[in-house]
Amino acid sequence: MAIKVEKNDMILVTGAAGFIGSCMVQYLNDHGYENLLLDDDFGVEEKRKNWEGKKYTRIIERYQLFSWLQEHRPSLGLVIHLGARTDTTEFDYAVHEELNVQYSKDIWDYCTMHEVPLVYASSAATYGAGELGYADDHELVPRLQPLNPYGVSKNEFDKWVLQQETCPPFWAGLKFFNVYGPNEYHKGRMASVIWHAFGQIRKTGEVKLFRSHRGDFKNGEQLRDFIYVKDVVRVIGWMTGITPTGDSPAAIPAGIDSAIYNLGTGIARSFNDLVSATFHGMDLEPRIVYIDMPADIRDTYQYYTRATMEKLLSAGYDGGFHSLEEGIDDYVRNYLITSRLY
């Protein structure tokens, strides 16, 4: 079905103080949407810069969300569920179960009961080592073998969704591949390699990359599908009719199916390429040093990811994606160098 979120419709964005969530809020603001409910743990002080300058109706602490919804009964036009525990080095599954599975089930049930369209974040981490490929085929979901508890939790929710007989009027689960871009400064170890590379270049003039521990990959030639966060939020905007491709009303999706979709670029690029683009964004020549990969992630490290994008493209998305060089150049020059937020 096609959905069109109007300017005065109330939109709930979870994870709104985080990386992708805060970029989503800015994207909505940029297109005239200010009737927003922002949900997150707003007690995390280092995230404050991500949300305090945004335009919204109300912020709601994550643990108060459902009691607030029950008390105030807002008329929601859309829920964009981006809140999650995304730390792939957190091995206590109970943490992921609570935040990534049960909380998401509660969001789904609310949207189903109140007939609210839902877009939620899944992850390419569900694909594990890629033994079954990277196709966003529903038949593959129960067979996937993620490499860490985070990936397991995201796949468990996807599996649960596909078993539901009652659903929101429209829903889409988006398997984000390697997202990078502004507003990720608070993520520390889990921030993108670009963010880390920029800091290393400023401090030492060189970048350290993980040495390959597999004979079929050269050092720095591990391949990932990197996607700029501005493309991620633009796809969500297109999918929900917030802004159509090319700002042409005719491009609003007329019949996009409720489904799980990959969201990458469909192109795998190396970490060497990524770091070289970061240097070039700073007008410097690349200097790369290779170091051993930490033992705690060596056995669960993805050496190759590439989204198959046919499902999203066949649904009508034709907005294109930034190339790796274009995205990094924008990120470095307009955000990292200037310390700007999006």
Q: What is the pLDDT along the chain (342 residues), one digit of tens a residue?
A: 557 787 888 999 999 999 999 999 999 999 999 999 999 999 888 899 999 999 999 999 999 999 999 999 999 999 999 987 666 666 666 677 778 899 999 999 999 999 999 999 999 999 998 999 999 999 999 999 998 888 999 999 999 999 999 999 999 999 999 999 999 998 888 889 999 999 999 999 999 999 999 989 999 999 999 999 999 999 999 999 886 544 444 344 556 899 999 999 999 999 999 999 999 999 999 999 999 998 888 877 888 999 999 999 999 998 899 999 999 999 999 999 999 999
Residue 187 annotated as catalytic:
yes
Q: What pLDDT does 143 receive?
A: 97
Closest CA to 15 of 166, 218, 176: 176
Beta bridge partners of 121: 174
**Whether the Cβ atoms of residue 55 and residue 31 lie closer than 8 Å to each other:** no
**Whether the Cβ atoms of residue 201 and residue 193 lie closer than 8 Å to each other:** no
Q: Of these residues, 4, 49, 55, 187, which one is catalytic?
A: 187
Q: Report the C-alpha gap between 220 and 170 in whole angstroms.
A: 41
Q: What pLDDT does 255 receive?
A: 66
Q: Which residues does 124 contact at the CB level (< 8 Å), separation at least 6? A: 134, 175, 176, 177, 178, 225, 262, 264, 305, 307
pTM: 0.93
DSSP 304: B
Angstrom CA distances, 8 to 107, 119, 192, stand at 22, 19, 35
Beta bridge partners of 58: 37
Q: Of these residues, 33, 127, 150, 261, which one is catalytic?
A: 150
Angstrom CA distances, 58 to 34, 55, 65, 171, stand at 10, 9, 11, 24
Q: Report the C-alpha gap between 116 and 156 in whole angstroms.
A: 22
Beta bridge partners of 205: none
Residue 331 annotated as catalytic:
no
**Whether the Cβ atoms of residue 308 and residue 133 lie closer than 8 Å to each other:** yes
Q: What pLDDT does 248 receive?
A: 44
* Domain spans, the chain: 10-180+226-266+304-322
Q: Report the C-alpha gap between 307 and 177 in whole angstroms.
A: 7
Q: Which residues does 151 contact at the CB level (< 8 Å), separation at least 6? A: 88, 123, 125, 126, 127, 128
* Structural domain 10-180+226-266+304-322, CATH architecture: 3-Layer(aba) Sandwich (3.40)
Q: What pLDDT does 10 receive?
A: 94
Q: What pLDDT does 39 receive?
A: 95
